[in-house]
Amino acid sequence: MKFALIGCGRIAASHLKAALENQLEIAALCDLDPQAIRNLRREFGLEGEQGIREYADYRQMLREIPDLDLAAVTTASGLHAQMTLDCIDAGVHVIVEKPMTLDLAQADEIIRRSEEAGVWVCACHQNRFNLAVQKMRAALEEGRFGKLSHGSVQVLWHRSQEYYRQADWRGSWAKDGGCLMNQCLHGIDLLLWMMGGRAVEVCGMLANRFHPEIEAEDLGMALVRFEGGETALIEGTTNVYPENLEERLSLFGQAGTARLGGKSANKIKEWQFADPRPGDEETRFFEEETDSVYGNGHQALYADMIGAIRENRPPYVDARAGRAAVELILAIYKSARTGRPVSLPLGDFSAKEMEGFRP
Ligand SMILES: NC(=O)c1ccc[n+]([C@@H]2O[C@H](COP(=O)([O-])OP(=O)(O)OC[C@H]3O[C@@H](n4cnc5c(N)ncnc54)[C@H](O)[C@@H]3O)[C@@H](O)[C@H]2O)c1
């Protein structure tokens, strides 16, 4: 299966590693900056690989490699949607980094055009594949929590001023959003997925406490109500001193309580169920080793997407999941901007509409 990577920056290595581990044929690397391509090649010992073509223009790449099967879009967030749409139009399946888009109208366009073209789009929410997350999900699907009361997610991370100064898109409303849209999207996606996926009302507050160099928030808090009456609490920040502390996900049901923690929701911290089962004792202390705050999930996400293409079935995290997480975060943004609770479905809204708002 022929693969191309569009964007060779910080996260690109996780994608190239996952593509190589899944035996994809690396057909092309694309970046506006040739040095970024060289650096990535060097990191993977691919300097001499003549079969890997290099492009600055991804549209030219799509034209010149007509038998490309799969592309990963790993550029700045504000570019994801258009690049995904261009891949779809070229008949190429896509793994698009989170957030899939910053604009709900574009999300709808991605869903519509991919369905029409018979092309699969996978939103890169790789934390869904974390082993601890999978254990929580299995307990939920087996009904072990009983009726859910509420859940919460706390993404307690750190980003320096230097991090935000690395590129002008970081922390801008039009091209990135703040910590909720960037760093906390994985945790918010996990919460939404566990709570059944349908939020109906959101109350949000944003602040920018330590990063005057960016437009958007470095701290976001929200209360969410779901379709079934469950509620949830979201706390996300890049302000924790002196480094990333934890990504914590809690689920409280009538017959079960589970809490995940660790730097990227990779550890089980609490595991209590009314129906004890074999294996619960070990699960209670489960931890998946990872040396990256991004977790180990890219490999499994790629394996699933390759399976989706071969079997012509939706990927585990499809474009609708990509849209749902973005919609919830945009609803928090709109609520913060208007100072009122916001109902979902949200209708068309984009992060660009936050321009001029100083949290
Ligand atoms: N899934 C995760 O856990 C995770 C982790 C980090 C970042 N991300 C996401 O990945 C995306 C990229 O983040 P990053 O930290 O790697 O950013 P980055 O700025 O380090 O890399 C982006 C790269 O895209 C290139 N680029 C820009 N415009 C381009 C164009 N038109 N054509 C080709 N290349 C172009 C840039 O030159 C740069 O090398 C962001 O959307 C971010 O939210 C996801």
pLDDT digits (tens, 9 = 90+) for 94-108: 999 999 999 999 999
Instruction: Please give the average per-residue pLDDT across 276-286, as a whole number.
Output: 95
Indicate the number of domains in the chain: 2
In this structure, what CATH number is given to the domain that contains residue 178?
A: 3.30.360.10
State pTM to two decimals. 0.98
Q: In what order do the strands lie in the sheet with 219-226?
A: 267-273, 256-261, 246-253, 148-156, 231-237, 219-226, 199-207, 342-343
- Which atom of ligand 1 is found nearest the CA of 7? 24
Whether residue 131 sits in one domain with residue 40:
no
Amino acid 292: pLDDT: 78
Q: How far is the CA of 206 from the centre of ligand 1 (A)?
A: 24
Residue 76 φ then ψ, to 5°: -60, 150
Reply yes or no on whether the pLDDT at 293 is more than 80: no
Q: How far is the CA of 8 from the centre of ligand 1 (A)?
A: 7
Query: Furthest-apart CA pair in the chain: how many Å?
Result: 59
126 ligand 1 Cβ < 6 A: yes
Looking at the domain assignment, is residue 232 inside a domain?
yes
- Please tell me whether residues 65 and 93 are part of one structural domain: yes
Same domain, 51 and 182: no
Angle (nearest 5°) at CA 159 between 104 and 259? 75
Confidence (pLDDT) at 291: 78
Looking at residue 289, what is its pLDDT?
92
pLDDT of residue 290: 85
The Cα 99–Cα 22 span in angstroms is 23
The answer to whether residue 314 is domain-embedded is: no
Q: Are residues 136 and 102 in the same domain?
A: no
Query: Which of 110, 125, 140 is the last residue in one of the domains?
Result: 125
Question: Would you say residue 186 has pLDDT above 90?
Answer: yes
Residue 305 domain-assigned (yes or no): no
Say if residues 255 and 274 touch (Cβ distance below 8 Å).
Answer: yes
Specify the ligand 1 atom closest to the Cα of 293: 3
In the chain, the percentage of residues whose pLDDT exceeds 70 is: 100
Task: Return the structure tokens found at 342.
Answer: 């916001």
Does residue 242 have a cis peptide bond before it, meaning omega lies within 30 degrees of 0?
yes
How far apart, in whole angstroms, are the C-alpha atoms of residue 345 and residue 64?
40
Q: How far is CA 16 from CA 23, 76, 306, 320, in A?
A: 11, 17, 14, 25
pLDDT given for residue 110 in this prediction: 98
Q: Is 121 in the pocket of ligand 1 (CB under 6 A)?
A: no
Is the residue at 304 inside a domain?
Answer: no
Using pLDDT thresholds of 50, 70 and 90, give the confidence band for residue 294.
Answer: confident
Q: Does 146 lie in the same domain as 120?
A: no
Q: Assess whether the C-beta atom of 239 lies below 6 angstroms from ligand 1.
A: no
Give the domain range for residue 271. Answer: 127-297+324-354
The chain-wide mean pLDDT, for the chain, equals 97
Q: Separation of 338 CA from ligand 1 center, angstroms?
A: 31
Of 98, 125, 152, the position where a domain reaches its end is: 125
What's residue 189's pLDDT? 98
pLDDT at 295: 84
Question: How far away, in angstroms, is 76 Cα from ligand 1 center?
Answer: 4
23 lies in the same domain as 136: no
The answer to the question of residue 262 being in a domain is yes
- 308 within some domain: no
| Domain-terminating residue out of 109, 125, 141 | 125
- Evaluate whether 4 touches 12 at the Cβ level (below 8 Å): no
User: Is 293 close to ligand 1, i.e. is its CB under 6 Å away?
Assistant: no
- Tell whether 317 is covered by a domain: no
Q: Alpha-carbon distance 29 to 12, whole Å?
A: 10
Kindly indicate the confidence band of residue 162, based on its pLDDT and cuts at 50, 70 and 90. Answer: very high
- Indicate if ligand 1 lies below 6 Å from the C-beta of 189: no
Residues 12 and 26 in one domain: yes
Q: How far is the CA of 140 from the centre of ligand 1 (A)?
A: 34
